[in-house]
Structure 1
Amino acid sequence: MAACASVGIAMAQGVLAASFFISGQKFQVTADSLTVRGFSLYGMVDVTRKHELVPVMVNGFRHATVSGLCQSVVVDIPVLGTRTLRLTGGDGRPAEASDMFIDATTETVKDATFNGLDIGVAQGALTKGPVDPGDRNSRFFDPDGVGHQAASTTLKGVRVSAVALSAGTFSIPGLRVQLDQGNHACP
């Protein structure tokens, strides 16, 4: 837990690029609003350390501005019980990320606006939004598979259940990291 908090603080200060290896544990990411330049969406399979396969939807963002960010993971700790590690920020001033990828299992958005939207693009031909370089070399990446892309998008009321998140840079003003007893997942 302390290591996760340290990584979160280092990411917020721009010292470390955001990168999480898939553990198989799902976490929640919510945002009041997410404004993106260069959006892509494609199917992929992530692999856990135990070699379990997890199908995901990879959301790629060349540049993202995030207001009201919340990330939480609920864990059961032997003897101590359930705890929630929660990171919040981007309330007064929005968080910003570049080359960000969210490997999601479910997503809901209250309101979505896309500009320059293309649905049904071959994954290998995505150009408006990024494709994770590691995904292009994966045996699970299908260059002929279905992808979506948009020049820009604005999403409001975002709620994502994810297994991985990575970014080239992720600047989070007003970052707050806390570990609380009980289940306090992002709303």
Structure 2
Amino acid sequence: MKDALGSQVLGGTKWKRFALVMVPTVGIAGAMTVAMANGVLASSFAVSGQRFEVSADQLDGQTFAQSGDVVVDANGKPHAVAVAGIKSATITNMCQSVVVPIPVLGNLSIILRAGGGGTPVQATDLVLDADQVNADATFTGVTIGASAADIASKTGIQGFEKHTGNPDGSTTPFAAGDFGQVVDHAVLTDVKQTAYSTTAGTMALKGLSISANLSAQGCY
């Protein structure tokens, strides 16, 4: 069997509790995610450096691409991440949370939930900068060690680029020699992730709920 890049692969590969070795990640930036006209992503924004949590019962996605990267936040601090692009995804029972320190009051938790009640979140062109992912996963059509530039060209995932290293959040296309890996189809269950940023081309969040409290508790 060959994958979309024409490479010979073994289907049905299954890895459990994986982290950043092969991490087609899942994450959502909530209200910061923008639906883009004509499939063109908006201008890059500086990364705050605040990590957020994302969990989901399941992600079923088509075409995952990944490479290593370093994100430099607005204060100039670098963060090692796995930058991942997902062409299309269906996400069940998604939760996103961030805990923000508030002077005197303590820690403010902002929690977003969507994709329950039998109507999953639908997303296209997800691009994620994650530093930790845990899940049970089954991958089909796996290619590891391909050129990240070649993967970006052939998968057509909008926004799958590397950061320039500038605090303004700007990105640039991968170079031909940049390491990459790609999966044709993946099913991830019991997903738990921390990330620094996420963008998407389009995202439909049925049953969206956003809440804020001072419990300092996140999605997990």
TM-score bracket relative to the smaller structure: 0.7 to 0.9
> Which residue of 2 is the match for residue 122 of structure 1?
147
Work out the CA distance in 1 between the residues paired with 2:51 and 2:58. 21
Change beyond 3 A, Cα 1:39–1:133: closer
> Which residue of 1 is the match for residue 87 of structure 2?
62
Corresponding position: 1:103 with 2:136: no
**Alignment deviations for residues 63-111 of structure 1 (CA, whole Å, 9 cap, x no partner):** 01100100000111012211100000101100011100110001111x2
Work out the CA distance in 1 between the residues paired with 2:32 and 2:172. 32
> Which residue of 2 is the match for residue 37 of structure 1?
62
Change beyond 3 A, Cα 1:84–1:20: farther
Work out the CA distance in 2 between the residues paired with 1:20 and 1:10. 10
Change beyond 3 A, Cα 1:9–1:146: closer
Corresponding position: 1:50 with 2:70: no
Change beyond 3 A, Cα 1:185–1:129: farther
SS at match of 2:198: strand
Q: Number of aligned residue pairs: give it.
A: 179
Corresponding position: 1:184 with 2:217: yes
Contact 2:127–2:160 at 8 Å: present in 1 too? no
Work out the CA distance in 2 between the residues paired with 1:176 and 1:66. 15
TM-score (norm 2): 0.72
Contact 1:39–1:129 at 8 Å: present in 2 too? no
Counterpart of 2:159 (choices 132, 141, 144) is 132
Work out the CA distance in 2 between the residues paired with 1:113 and 1:129. 23
1:134 CA drift (Å): 4.8
Change beyond 3 A, Cα 1:9–1:147: closer
Matches within 5 A, 1:74-85: 74-85=99-110
RMSD: 2.7
**Alignment deviations for residues 84-141 of structure 1 (CA, whole Å, 9 cap, x no partner):** 00000101100011100110001111x2111111011121121347362553874694
Contact 2:70–2:81 at 8 Å: present in 1 too? yes
TM-score (norm 1): 0.84
Matches within 5 A, 1:140-151: 141-151=174-184
**Alignment deviations for residues 2-47 of structure 1 (CA, whole Å, 9 cap, x no partner):** xxxxx945859x5898987410010001110001111111111112
Work out the CA distance in 1 between the residues paired with 2:155 and 2:173. 21
Work out the CA distance in 1 between the residues paired with 2:45 and 2:217. 21
Work out the CA distance in 1 between the residues paired with 2:216 and 2:121. 25
Contact 2:86–2:125 at 8 Å: present in 1 too? yes
Contact 1:55–1:105 at 8 Å: present in 2 too? yes
> Which residue of 2 is the match for residue 173 of structure 1?
206
Work out the CA distance in 1 between the residues paired with 2:82 and 2:199. 14
In structure 2, the gaps of 5 or more residues are 1-28, 165-170
SS at match of 2:216: coil
SS at match of 1:28: strand
Corresponding position: 1:72 with 2:92: no
**Which has the larger strand fraction?**
1
